[in-house]
Chains A and B, each alone.
Chain A
Amino acid sequence: MTTFVIVGAGEGGGTAAGSLRDAGYDGDVVLIGEEPMPPYERPPLSKEYLRGESDHHLVRPPEWYDENNVDARFGVRAERVDTSAREVELGDGSRVAFDQLVIATGSRNRRLPLPGLELPGVHDLRFAPDADAIKSSAKNASKAVLVGMGFIGAEVAASLRQLGLDVTVVEFAGTPLERVLGPQLGGAIETLHRDHGVEMIFHDAAERFEGDGRFEALVTKEGRRIEGEMAVVGIGVQPVTEVAEKSDVPTDNGIRVDATLRTSVDGIWAIGDVARHEHPVFGSIRVEHFDNALKMGEHVAKNMLGANEVFDDAHWFWSDQYDTEIQMSGFATEWDETVIRGNVDERRFAAFLLKDGLLLSTFSMNWKHDVRRSMPLIVAGVRPDSAQLADPEVDLRNLKPPSD
């Protein structure tokens, strides 16, 4: 009998356990997670769940783990991987032996070492209790101050506006999501939020949080003082690699895995936010989105059972803000051409990002079908004609080169 151990019980770890059983693997599965609850979906935490419109969406029903003979150890932290003994050392000092191991420890929020960060009413958002705390603060607040306008900041801004709060955001860059989307598409997000009454201050950053026993104001580097009853900081995440750092599993901005999600240590894999994988199209990347964790969870289960398949997913995510559905596929850090299909001002468009003619990524507002349809093109390394991309009458499914 073999034992497969999964460290980290978020979307990736939970899905890996589920997929192993779905595939008929009947050896031992141990799923170790620091959070006390079974794996749940994080995307709603900044959206439906934050607004009180939904309860948690669990990756598998709570009874699934017992029913499928998965040794679920929730509320336990894995401290260290011992690659020579092939054991995982847990926070309580106990050890779990493995034949194969999946590291799915995810990421944690970046924290600024700023005065006042510890004040009640200053939040960040990662886990379910963080969302509960923000909800609770929002009940007694009329104005929120947000630091950072990446996806989490933008989604929280939208949700708090929808709950009736005034929202002011301080963002270091020149538009929301500028680093990810560039100024043009970042500008479309800015307009969306301006149209919904969010006040945004760009090219400024948090200096300190002030308050007498509770948050009262944010003071910025440029000397602004922005008052509010609550603050939410969303300035990005970093991979949780400690479990591997005292072992010979290589880490470097994440845990290094090859295109099959395997580390350089035999039988040890990494998936999700923590995995810096070799993607056949995008190169060495680390992706911090729900769908990636899920797809890698499904994929690693197959490979642990011997499939040895390359993970070539096009990468895809969504972000719902107000009544606008945002979706994006692919991966681009730089591009030299942006082709628009649809109408940016009406917030009904797809934007195709190309470099040297190669389609790398598709971003959309209320135009999601072409995000999906572009994914096979991105993976196939297609250089589509700009005029065809811009023409809504052209079905992207017809642009794919014939498969052999």
Chain B
Amino acid sequence: MARMKFLCDAERCIECNACVTACKNEHEVPWGVNRRRVITLNDGLPGEKSISVACMHCTDAPCKAVCPVDCFYTTPDGVVLHDKDLCIGCGYCLYACPFGAPQFPQDGAFGSRGKMDKCTFCAGGPEADFSEEEYKKYGRNRLAEGKLPLCAEMCSTKALLAGDADEVADLFRERVIRRADAAGGEPKQQRLRQGRPWGWETAYPEARP
């Protein structure tokens, strides 16, 4: 069974925001809602890093765990989707999500929240595939067309990857090894350290030199 995942390569992302634009355009996302956004750390300083973030389609999704009306579900492809007909716009999922993925249109009176909106991995929603209703509520269903999310497909530097977790991991692993080889120098441990993905030592403190 496939497990669809996103991965953003911080060494490649150039903060062009084309993924954000592509997403908004493909799904006709309304103003104020950003299913995807680019975050830059240490902006303007030497060595700044950018990553493109959206719903990560968690295997054990916290949004799904806390939803009081149980509107979330996981597709056989491992994509976490929600039913807007069930959603009450309470915002509990926003508090639970570590990535800030759930978005809420604020077009009502007194700042009231509308139905939650988030990245669908271009997989539509619970309505029939390619139906007008599905497009209106969730955007285009590219996965059913045999395509992958547009944000990743059009990424010019191939920083953003989207696909089956095994495929994505294989491709990223090849990159890490290539970078380690390109870094040159001896001994091998030093080369591997230089080629490591950015943030590796933050995630794994025991790997620090």
Do the two chains bind?
no
